[in-house]
Structure 1
Amino acid sequence: MGRYGESLAARHLTEAGMTILERNWRPGRTGEIDIVAQDGDALVICEVKTRRAGAFQHPMAAVTPGKAARLRGLAERWLQEHGGAPPGGLRIDVVGVLLPARGAPVVEHVRGVQ
């Protein structure tokens, strides 16, 4: 289910004009960045959360302040390993994918999560 959601998110980001640079980047055992993308001159670290409709919580609710802090740390590590921040800086986005029992998946994209 997670890989399917990530594929839908990558397609959504591409259709929004972003370029996917990397998927499922792992700097070791410290975590994973689901999608690294470029949006103009900005680097975007994107967390993807996928849930089935009727699940305990909405996909976006799964990104807690602790998770956001871990994402910022992973983003800094990515920048260190890939030559630093681009001119447009760094942004952290969240894509929530909701899979209903019937019908098309719903993809929500929130830009600039703190």
Structure 2
Amino acid sequence: MNLLLWIAAALLAAVALAGGVTKTFVPIPTLAATPGGTWTGHTRPAAVRALGTLELLAAIGLVLPPILGIAPVLVPVTALCWVLLMLGAMATHRHFREYLPIALNALYLALAAFVAWGRFGPYPF
């Protein structure tokens, strides 16, 4: 089970890293033109950049604490925050009638919930 939790956390970290880099560094008009990115054209650029920064921090918080042996409780805390972030993402995509991203967000939410459950519950570090 420990291996499955590590795999789920690593997958989420990869998703968070990719999303964080794009939201932080890609120009807003480019993001708005991509499938599922319509919302970025209707949101303040500072808010998009802030979400990107949060995703970069999530990528770090999902894998680095147990590797360094410093505050490994940050992994389930980060996973729980990711659940909340995905709920917001799903609501935003629903508002813009972007349904494929909702399905992906639901998958990421399930993975994050699994990591939070496992690391808070029966399989802590």
Q: Which of the pair has the greater relative contact order for Cα pairs under 8 Å at 6+ separation?
A: 2
Compute the TM-score of the two structures, normalised by the length of structure 1: 0.35
More strand by share: 1
Compute the TM-score of the two structures, normalised by the length of structure 2: 0.33
More helix by share: 2
